[in-house]
Structure 1
Amino acid sequence: MMKCLCTKSKMDKLEFSESHRVIPDNHGAEIRNLEKSRAQAQAKSFSCLNRETQQLRSRLPSGHEADKSTKVSASSSTASSIKSFISGGFGGVCAVLVGHPFDLTKTRLQTAPPGAYTGAVDVVRKTLARDGVSGLYRGIVPPILGVTPIFAVSFWGYDLGKKLVYAYTPNRTSKQLSTAEVAAAGFFSAIPQTFVAAPVERAKVLLQIQGQGQSGPKYNGVIDVVRGLYREGGIRSIFRGTGATLARDGPGSAAYFAAYEVTKKYLTPAGSSPSELNLGAVIIAGGMAGVAMWSIAIPPDVLKSRLQSAPTGTYSGFLDCARKTIATDGVKALWKGFGPAMARAFPANAATFLGVEASRVLLDKLF
């Protein structure tokens, strides 16, 4: 134990003597030079780092600039939505003016009792004989008043649907939406659209089918229809067929917008953008969109028309209507009105997209 203490004492003395050893002058000068060089290098390094930091900060937007950029982006998004709403409404007006006679023929075929008409041509012939040319535009007021907001909401909903797709795919490698993503955005557009379309469709159908038999017209106009429906069953009566409308327009809108975008892409020359297409290509793409939609929308449209035109209590709902329709008239009844619908599909929807694209170009120039 004493030996260990002695050894430790010697080591402490040795360290003390080493730390207090006198350094020769020439060695001291070298050490001072090294320390000076080191200090200069550190100062230079710090200066360089500070300069790079300032340069980086100058490239980044300030808090005010970032806020301004965010506000500009939000403003641009709002402007885009408003333009989609307005151009969709204008496209809807074009669709009604071109397509209403076809739509009236389709609805009368779908809702008439068996044997009332031999086909679409017979509907047109009897309508002209009874009411003249104006008879082909019977019931046009509800769609003119209603289709404008219906199409406006539809195209606004489609624009919003595309934004949601982008929001839920932040790591996407391409800004171009796939066909499936376009279809998803199209289906989404039908959700808000249905709440506008269902009561409009209800009034339109009731006005279109009246006056076919011996009895005279039941309603004097769209306001009289709404008043009568509310008196009979309240708000629920006005919105009858809402589920059937969504069953038609959900898949239909998915096919509608997907077909339009796919056709535009197909017609776009190499090295060009679909937004640069001429009016002829837009007409073709719009017409194909309508054909794609109505190819799958006729069965739910038949059920919707029957639900909305039948007396209260005839059907308990969409499925009951389908069951009774098939039991009474067979499966082929689900495709009644297919001819007029397809005849209307191309010209009416070509007019729709022509109106949408033309008005959007004008709005982009004005705002």
Structure 2
Amino acid sequence: MSEELIAPQLIDAPAEPSPFISILSGCFGGIAQVITGQPFDCVKVRLQTAPAGTNPSLPSIVKEIINKEGYAAFYKGTTTPLLGIGACVSVQFGCNEYMKNYFIKKNNGSDMKLTQYFQSGVVAGIANAPLAAVIEHVRIRQQINKSKNAPGALDIFKTIYKNNALGRGLFTTAIRDGFGLGCYFTFYEFLINKQLKTNKQYENDRKNIESWKLCTFGGLSGIVLWMCIYPVDIVKSIKQTGPIEKKPDGIVHIFKGLYKVGGVSGFFKGIGPALIRSFPVNAATFLAFEASMRALT
């Protein structure tokens, strides 16, 4: 894989979009992500946090949710991510675009390198982690509550705050998102640049790439993301779903426990719905982002 890529696209044109446009476009991408992915995410969390020694299947989890809680349960905890994930994706895409602009200027017109795309994604992931850790903590506690009268997001947030647990899972989230978004954005930009290099009709402008290709590239990038980060994500889920009043187990302790109970496969418990979810969710995210950037610039 060549390390030199064509410097793209919407953001390095002579008149650069303002950071506000990148952030707003990221918000639209986040809303699309939540609406598309919430049912899959609910199932994923239930699989990840199933009691040790149990190995429920995806169909059995889906059936249990429908029978005991109803179809609306698949969107349990949606309010928090709808507001919060929009903010998270805004941070992710906004920081990523800012870093790409930084490298484009630093290179003085030379092509960006894959390592620079990766660094841009890492910065975006780490910047996103403090917000994502809190939002996901609230959402996960809503999703694992099987009662039809489960507490709302605000009540759960108050409980987390009262127990000084707002930062629970922050370090794990930073590791996950830093490495994960580095891979995520690098792979997406690699696919975009391959198109610009091999298809002259695009005139080196990503605005000319068809929407179905943007969806495909976004979906594939989502699969790459989850393949890279899933073991860390399952550790984060376990860390954030422990008794709120107790100090959580450390990362190493959780890793050892997972391996002892399930071996290597224990680190991939629930990966099925995560991968199934990743393609449509990230296809929708990137399409919404790119469409918004095109409309606003």
TM-score normalised according to structure 2 size: 0.88
SS at match of 1:220: coil
The aligned runs of 1:215-294 (5 Å cut-off) are 216=147, 219-231=150-162, 233-234=163-164, 237-268=165-196, 269-272=199-202, 273=204, 274-294=206-226
Structure 2: which amino acid aligns with 1:315? Answer: P
1:331 matched to which residue of 2?
264
SS at match of 1:238: coil
Matched, 1:149 2:87: yes
CA distance in 2, matches of 1:115, 1:127: 20
How much does 1:331 deviate? 2.5
Matched, 1:200 2:135: yes
Larger radius of gyration: 1
Matched, 1:179 2:84: no
Question: Percent same amino acid among aligned pairs?
Answer: 30
Structure 2 gaps of 5+ residues are: 1-14
SS at match of 1:128: helix
The aligned runs of 1:1-367 (5 Å cut-off) are 79-114=17-52, 118-166=56-104, 169-170=106-107, 172=108, 174=110, 176-211=111-146, 216=147, 219-231=150-162, 233-234=163-164, 237-268=165-196, 269-272=199-202, 273=204, 274-311=206-243, 312-313=245-246, 315-364=248-297
How much does 1:318 deviate? 1.9
8 Å contact 2:45–2:140 — kept in the other structure?
yes
TM-score normalised according to structure 1 size: 0.72
CA distance in 2, matches of 1:360, 1:125: 40
Structure 2: which amino acid aligns with 1:121? Answer: P
Structure 2: which amino acid aligns with 1:249? Answer: D
- Going by fraction, where is helix more abundant, 1 or 2? 1
8 Å contact 1:263–1:288 — kept in the other structure?
no
8 Å contact 1:202–1:239 — kept in the other structure?
no
